[in-house]
Each structure stands twice: as structure tokens, then as C-alpha cells.
Amino acid sequence: MFIDIAKRCCPAFLYLLLALIAVAGSSTTVCAQEQVENLFYYVDAEDAFQSFKANSDYISIVAPQKYSISRAGVVWGEVDPRVMDIARENDIKVIPLIMNPGFDRQLFHEFLQDTTAQRRTIQMMVELALEYDYAGWQFDFENIHISDREAFTNFYRNTAEAFRPHNLSLSAAVVPTNTDYDLKTAYHRFLYEYWRGAYDLKAMAEIGDFLSLMTYSQHTRRTPPGPVAGIPWMEEMIRYLLDDLQIEPQKISLGIPFYSTYWYADYTDERGGFVNGSGASYAKVMGLVDRYEADLVWLEKQQTHYALWNHDGVYEYAFIEDQRALVEKLKVLQKFNLRGISVWRLGQEDPAVWEIFRN
């Protein structure tokens, strides 16, 4: 009966609803989730294409990270025509990302001081969307200094106003924060000044259609080993938007990682020896687990697996995103009645995650 209702109300979202039914176990709660949106990020790599091709039935939005801007506001890039063909055949919306290439802070700062460059970018985005039938665009501008916060918000507002007559969606991938003032360490000060603070989350939520909250990269190469996206941390970031900023849940798309992270000892002539960490596919980290005969350990509080092993006297670590971790993250989506999920990225996942969508 619930499947019939889902087919009539929103057929594109049926498969994510099945996953929510599985994790929620409550028909009353699931009814509130009928408009769930499942957005998947795509990069120009063959593993991403093969994943998109194989699992297109379960995707409602594909977001290729393929467009960049120059200092002069010139937009450049292209989406793989094979992706466009599959999207048309399966009624999948295409919402490309537009970014400062390499997350170049100085380039974007200069761009935000140039109103002519911004108008050029906005006009090119409109024309590209109309030519290729994009449903809209998502901003993926990162590594922005806090001093550019107001200029960035104004650029976002001007873009939304230009998109409105053409019925184009505008959203933004944003780095989450849990405070605008209570910064505990020098590292948290750095994160806020260069990564978090430039996003006026409340204003952007009101201006655009939704925010893709990047509730992943909790731990990175800049930190000690830890979860990619521990459940307590994810919930803390969400509660800040909902409770402190009073942002509507349907304006928030929950960022979910398909990638895992691997930490190891590294060396360069410039830095000497240091701890390095990098995102890695599920296949890569499980290959390392197998190679070094490591044991997977489930962290109950964080709701994720990790493994550590001895590599010639030095311990290496992996925190692993798999099917079991995804189920727990979908419970967070259902708990807060959010708009949907924004998944980084196709091609890096545990193949078993698609069983959740297929049921």
C-alpha cells in the first residue's frame, strides 16, 4: 500500500522511501518523508560514470562537478554527454556545480570585488542552463575568507534573482558549523576564518532553494584519524541550523559520504615526516584491510567502522563508510525530517549500499 502511495505522489523518490521505511519501521513517520530528494555528486571519472549508469533508477538529481569560473567571470566546463543521455532517459534532473577552480581563495576574492565579472558569470549560467536543459545550478565555492562573507551572499542573491524568471533552481554546497563565536582551538579558528564563516547560512537558506550541508570531512588530512562523518557530529551541525538559525528542515539536504578516509605516515623534502590522510574509495580501504589482515571494529557511538594495522612498525588507520553506516545516516535524515540527501560521490561507494535503495 505504501509503495502504491509513493508511486502516485512522487515516483522519482520511491526507492529512497523504501530505504526510509526499512530504517524507520513506522508508517506514520515515513509519510512525512514523501518529498525526499536524493542528489548524487558526479566527477569526470570512469568509476563515477559506471556507478551512475548502473544505479540511475535510484537517483533523482545528478550534480556534476564540471564548471569553473575565471577571475573575469568566464564560465567554462562541460558535462559528459553520456550522463546527459542517461539523465534524459530516466527523468533525472541535472544540476551542475560551479566552483572556484582548485578552491582558489585569491581568485574568488578578486571575482567578488568585480561586479562586471559576476554579471558575466550569472548570464553565462542562465544561457548554459537553457541550452542544455539544466534544472539549475549549485554553488560549490569553497576556501573563502570570512571577509568576503557579505560579498558572497550578495552574489548568491543576485544569481537567485536572475534565475527566477527562467524557473532555474539555485542551491549551495556549504561547510557546516556549530557556532559563529565559540571557537575552542586555533584549528577551529582556522576552520571558521577560511572555510566555515563565509557562509551566511540563514540568509542563503532564505535566498536559494536549499543548502547541501556537507556533513562529512569531520576528520581530514589536517586532523588526527577519526570518522568521516560521525553521527553525533552530524546531528550537532544539523541542530545548529534548525535550532539556533531557525532554518526550515526542508531547506537542508543532508551531506552523506560514499568515500572512506585512510591515514598513514608520509614524507616530503619540504615537510619531512608527517601524518597524511586522504579520501579513498571503499574498494581501496577494504583492499588495505585485506592486505594487512586488519579487523573491522564497529564504533557504536559514531556508527561507523574503523580499522588499524601495523605497516612496518607504524600504525595506519582507516575509517570506513559502508552499507551499515549509510543506514544509520538515513535515520538522521528521517529524525530531522530534512529535504533529502546530497552524496559525495558516485563511484567510491560500498556496492552493497544500492541494496538499500533497491530493497
- The model carries a pTM of 0.91
Distance CA 23, CA 43 (A): 29
CA gap 228, 123 in Å, rounded: 37
Enumerate the domain spans of the chain: 2-258+322-358
pLDDT for the residue 150? 98
> CA-to-CA distance for 209 and 199, rounded, in angstroms?
15
Cβ of 3: how many Cβ atoms within 10 Å? Answer: 12
With beta carbons less than 8 A apart as the criterion, state whether 41 and 344 touch. Answer: yes
CA-based radius of gyration for the chain: 20
Number of other residues whose CB lies within 10 A of the CB of residue 164: 10
Distance CA 308, CA 243 (A): 37
Under 8 Å between Cβ of 104 and 143: yes
Q: What is the pLDDT of residue 36?
A: 85
CB 94: neighbour CB atoms within 10 A? 21
DSSP states along 230-277: -HHHHHHHHHIIIIIS---GGGEEEEEE--EEEEEEEEETTTEEEEEE
Superfamily grouping for domain 2-258+322-358: Glycosidases (3.20.20.80)
pLDDT at 227: 98
Give the per-residue pLDDT at 16: 52
CA 126, 129, 135: angle at the middle one, nearest 5? 115
CA atoms of 50 and 52, how far apart (whole Å)? 5
**Residues 6 or more apart whose Cβ sits within 8 Å of residue 13:** 6, 34, 35, 36, 37, 38, 60
Over the chain (359 residues), the average pLDDT of each successive run of 10 is 40 46 43 71 98 97 98 98 98 98 98 98 98 98 98 98 98 98 97 98 98 98 97 98 98 98 98 97 98 98 98 98 98 98 98 93
Sequence-ordered alpha helix ranges (H) in 90-247? 105-112, 115-132, 149-163, 186-191, 201-207, 231-239
